[in-house]
Amino acid sequence: MSADIHKQAFVTEAGELLEDLEQSLMELENTPDDSDLVAKVFRAMHTIKGSGSMFGFDNLAAFVHGIETAYDLVREGKLAVTQEMIENSLKSCDVIKEMVADESLDSSCGEPLELKSFFASLHGGTPQDAPASVSVDTEKTSAGKTLTTYRIQFKPYEDIFSRGVNVQLLLNELMELGECRIVAHPERIPYLEELESEKCYVNWDIILSTDKGENAIRDVFIFVEDDCDITITPVAFYDGSEVENHERIGDILVEKGDISRAELENILSEKKRLGEFLVEKGVVPSSAVAAALEEQLHIKNMKETKAKKAEAESMTSIRVQSDKLDFLVDLVGELVTVQARLSQTAARKNEPELLKIAEDVERLVWDLRDNTMSIRMLPIGSTFSKFNRLVRDLSHSLGKKIELVTEGAETELDKTVIEKLNDPLVHLIRNSIDHGLEMPEERKASGKKETGTITLSARHSGDSVLIQITDNGRGIDPEKVRKKAIEKGLIAEGVELTAKEACDLILAPGFSTAEAVSNISGRGVGMDVVKKNIESLKGTLDISSEKGKGTVISLKLPLTLAIIDGLLIRVADQFFIIPLAVVEECIELTPKDVANSHGRSIIQVRGDIVPYIKLRELFGIKGNVPEIQQIVVTEIDGRRVGFVTDAVIGDHQTVIKSLGKIFKEVHGVSGATILGDGSVALIIDAVKIYHGIE
């Protein structure tokens, strides 16, 4: 069971590493001389290889070994990054994904021989040179990490500055690896008249506690190895063992080579404090004693706080299966329903003590609900980053120059919404690339930059998230859309279309303006399906475009699909919920308003004509109609529409319940919720009702 858990941990970690690896490779494609990116790619490959081998993915480890070796040559300056190398590296990422997804760990899992041969040729080997089983650095794998304290003695040569090295950046990178203490040794700094500003006279002792392993430390100094002396010594492990006792300063100084054992024993016989004696006798400088004291204190503190840190780390970062989280949300939903019943009962009995308990429970349940829902929220940037590869590959295959810009990657959405949003976004971006952006020569001829831009942005808009896909391409041509619509029998001859009407027609089933069917678009199965997918997420899709300037596709989505804020209304003895996300206001519908409309279902609201839908007629509910009814005014697809009801009860915390397969085709209802008295209220799908009547 434990092995399965560790394998799953590797699969999860590998997925995250591959996403970062693809991003780094695409950046490296634009800046092939960036040594930091090369080192980043190498480290990712090294980690995937080592972890894969440890958990039985030997075939994967052998495949990655050849790629890692090639990038090792690049970082040593013996090999240059080429377009072909990047192309094959990205293809290799796809192969690695397939290998990771192969739960059987079958060694016959596909490894294209041409990829193995390509990377083998770069380092002068053959595909068979890659070992079937790769040695593993256990400190760099995802499981069984050992926290180790290292003593790093960093002695740069005097001319290191002349080679463009910024020592501060190296020290900063070390500090990012873990708990770190740094002590400088300034003894070699000369008097001012002898000092040369271009020379480095200082060396450093660094005491670092990290679980990243020694290779991660060496990677920091990978490009300055020839410009300094580096000594890395493990001085303590925190898995129950230690290299040796390093509680005493004398032992530390002897091991570092600052003093001999004989000198130490001789000094100790004089019965003074060791540090004072050593400095007084001139055996070691005061900075060496200071460094030893820091190391002594650091190791002592690490021992004392290790258990607390381990507990804190487990609390700040923990992986939970999504089905467990879904079950928790379901339980919270049930608790919200029970709390509503308790509040209603307390209000009916009007007992002060019971009312106080109900209020306390309500406060706690709301806090629990908000906290639980926040756990389900994920930044949409994880989805955005996947599209860099899509844009790159399509731009290359179509011969277009395209730049993808992302904004608002930190915007959070419910994990369920994010999971279901991937396919619609892929289709919309492919459409923007294929239909929207022009070829470089066409863009140049129209006075634009040869490189087109697609902007993918996200931001909060009330209790929803607004996602926009914007391109600066050719835009939508209403005349072209009109001709296609006539050809498909969607409109009659002679009908003229506005830009907005042309955009709306694109969402019609089977509509496509592509001249020929390709592997990217043109089959007429697309925008209508995208719209249905967005509406299934209780969202809306809107298109705006200007010919010659570009197109903006806007998706408005709810933050979560589990618990929403709703407006509780009543028609006769039936209760309904309208999501507050679409509600603008509530107004009265009097007999005078009905008479003024002359039989039409419209009302004037502050100078605007607003059409309305009578829910009583829509759902066939019988009973007496009150003299004064209520209209709930909503905004759908940028237009205002009202829903007539007998009474508006008020806000309601709505736990969404599925109606089941038997009610799947019920028009205008998206789900149900349970009220405080145990009765059921149907959740109105205002968007579908509007489009069904339109």
d(CA 587, CA 163): 75
pLDDT above 60 (res 330): yes
Task: Please give the residue that has the higher pLDDT: either 517 or 659.
Answer: 659
Query: What is residue 255's predicted lDDT score, i.e. its pLDDT?
Result: 72
Confidence class for position 324, pLDDT limits 50, 70, 90: confident
d(CA 150, CA 13): 26
- Which whole number is the average pLDDT over 506-526? 59
Which residues carry out catalysis? 46, 68, 431
Q: Supply angle C-alpha 598, 600, 602, rounded to 5.
A: 110
Q: What is the DSSP letter of 434?
A: I
Q: Which two tokens stand for residue 27?
A: 């950046």
Query: What is residue 642's predicted lDDT score, i.e. its pLDDT?
Result: 93
pLDDT above 80 (res 127): no
Q: What is the DSSP letter of 299?
A: H
pLDDT above 80 (res 144): no
Q: Which two tokens stand for residue 421?
A: 């949003």
d(CA 95, CA 15): 12
- Residue 250's contacts (CB-CB under 8 Å, 6 or more residues apart) are 259, 264, 268, 274
Q: Which two tokens stand for residue 6?
A: 């560790």
Confidence class for position 159, pLDDT limits 50, 70, 90: confident
Terminal C-alpha separation, the chain: 57
pLDDT above 90 (res 571): yes
SS3 letters for 388-407?
HHHHHHHHHHHCCEEEEEEE
CA 54 to chain centre: 27
The candidate with the shortest Cα–Cα distance to 580, out of 634, 537, 624, is 634
How deeply is 496 buried, as exposed, middle or buried, from its count of CB atoms within 10 A (0-12, 13-18, 19+)? exposed
Query: What is residue 629's predicted lDDT score, i.e. its pLDDT?
Result: 93
Query: What is residue 454's predicted lDDT score, i.e. its pLDDT?
Result: 93
pLDDT above 90 (res 469): yes
Task: Please give the residue that has the higher pLDDT: either 636 or 276.
Answer: 636
Task: Please give the residue that has the higher pLDDT: either 293 or 585.
Answer: 585
CA 102 to chain centre: 24
Confidence class for position 134, pLDDT limits 50, 70, 90: very low
Residue entry with tokens 């209000």: 347
Query: What is residue 615's predicted lDDT score, i.e. its pLDDT?
Result: 92
Q: pLDDT (tens digit, 9 = 90+) per residue, 52-70?
A: 766 677 788 888 888 888 8
- Residue 587's contacts (CB-CB under 8 Å, 6 or more residues apart) are 603, 605, 630, 631, 633, 642
Query: What is residue 45's predicted lDDT score, i.e. its pLDDT?
Result: 84
pLDDT above 60 (res 110): no
Give one DSSP letter per residue of 331-378, joined into a string. HHHHHHHHHHHHHHHHHHHT-HHHHHHHHHHHHHHHHHHHHHHHHHEE
Residues of the chain with pLDDT > 70, as a percent, come to 82
Q: Helix (H, G, I), strand (E, B), or coil: what is residue 627?
A: coil
Half-sphere exposure of 291 (CA within 13 A, CB side): 26
- Residue 549's contacts (CB-CB under 8 Å, 6 or more residues apart) are 472, 475
Beta-carbon count within 10 A of 402 CB: 21
Phi/psi for 661 (5° steps) reads -65, -35
Each as own residue / partner, the long-range contacts of residues 509-515 (CB below 8 Å, 24 or more positions apart, any chain) are: 511/484, 511/485, 512/484, 513/435, 513/480, 513/481, 513/484, 514/434, 514/435
Query: What is residue 248's predicted lDDT score, i.e. its pLDDT?
Result: 60
545, 476 Cβ separation under 8 angstroms: yes
pLDDT above 60 (res 145): no
pLDDT above 70 (res 309): no
- Best mean pLDDT range from 1-5, 450-454, 652-656: 450-454
d(CA 514, CA 522): 5
Q: What residues does 453 pair with on adjacent strands?
A: 403
Query: What is residue 306's predicted lDDT score, i.e. its pLDDT?
Result: 57
pLDDT above 70 (res 109): no
Query: What is residue 541's predicted lDDT score, i.e. its pLDDT?
Result: 87
Confidence class for position 103, pLDDT limits 50, 70, 90: low
- Residue 362's contacts (CB-CB under 8 Å, 6 or more residues apart) are 339, 342, 343
Query: What is residue 163's predicted lDDT score, i.e. its pLDDT?
Result: 72
SS3 letters for 105-116?
CCCCCCCCHHHH
Query: What is residue 269's predicted lDDT score, i.e. its pLDDT?
Result: 59
Confidence class for position 491, pLDDT limits 50, 70, 90: confident
Phi-psi region of 660 (alpha: psi -120 to 50; beta: other; left: phi over 0): left
d(CA 250, CA 239): 25
pLDDT above 80 (res 164): no
Query: Following CA atoms 374, 380, 382, 388 in sequence, which dihedral angle do they give, to the nearest 10 degrees?
Result: 180
Phi/psi for 136 (5° steps) reads -115, 130
d(CA 671, CA 680): 10
d(CA 473, CA 471): 6
Phi/psi for 174 (5° steps) reads -65, -40
Strand arrangement, sheet containing 574-579 = 647-655, 563-571, 574-579, 680-684, 669-674
Query: What is residue 9's predicted lDDT score, i.e. its pLDDT?
Result: 67
Phi-psi region of 379 (alpha: psi -120 to 50; beta: other; left: phi over 0): beta
438, 452 Cβ separation under 8 angstroms: yes
Q: pLDDT (tens digit, 9 = 90+) per residue, 546-565?
A: 888 899 999 988 877 677 78
Q: Helix (H, G, I), strand (E, B), or coil: what is residue 123?
A: coil
- Best mean pLDDT range from 315-324, 411-420, 509-518: 411-420
d(CA 6, CA 358): 45
Q: Which two tokens stand for residue 537?
A: 């997420």
Query: What is residue 453's predicted lDDT score, i.e. its pLDDT?
Result: 93
Query: What is residue 140's predicted lDDT score, i.e. its pLDDT?
Result: 38
SS3 letters for 23-65?
HHHHHHHHCCCCHHHHHHHHHHHHHHHHHHHHCCCHHHHHHHH
pLDDT above 70 (res 126): no
Q: Which two tokens stand for residue 155?
A: 């002695």
Cut 0.95: pTM above it: no
- Residue 391's contacts (CB-CB under 8 Å, 6 or more residues apart) are 402, 404, 429, 433, 454
641, 655 Cβ separation under 8 angstroms: no
pLDDT above 90 (res 612): yes
Least confident of 100-114, 269-283, 319-333: 100-114
pLDDT above 70 (res 89): yes
Q: Which two tokens stand for residue 666?
A: 């019920």
Query: What is residue 664's predicted lDDT score, i.e. its pLDDT?
Result: 66
pLDDT above 70 (res 393): yes
Query: What is residue 529's predicted lDDT score, i.e. its pLDDT?
Result: 84
Phi-psi region of 528 (alpha: psi -120 to 50; beta: other; left: phi over 0): alpha
pLDDT above 90 (res 357): yes
pLDDT above 80 (res 81): yes
The DSSP element (H or E) to which 291 belongs, if any, is helix 286-316
Average model confidence (pLDDT) across the chain: 79
- Residue 317's contacts (CB-CB under 8 Å, 6 or more residues apart) are none
